[in-house]
Amino acid sequence: MNIKLDTVGHLCPFPLLEGKKAMTKLNKGDSLTIDFDCAQATENLPNWAQEEGYEVTNFEQLGDAAWTITIRK
């Protein structure tokens, strides 16, 4: 299962906080895709995923200030 979380327009640390909350509802092997436009989250989200032992399966810049990241639990 893949859950999509759109946090575009929300200031940091909202993308990270919402990502953490959403990840608790997923089973091992499920993925969470977060769309965001907070530059701080470009470091916070991958760092959090690594600390938790999650796999980042996709991380790309969509525009001048827009990114998407997919994290597998």
Catalytic residues: 12
Note whether 32 and 73 are within 8 A (CB).
Answer: yes
Per DSSP, helices labelled H in the chain are 14-23, 41-52
On whether the CB atoms of residues 34 and 67 are closer than 8 A, the answer is no
Q: How far is residue 61's CA from residue 21's CA, in Å, rounded to a whole number? A: 23
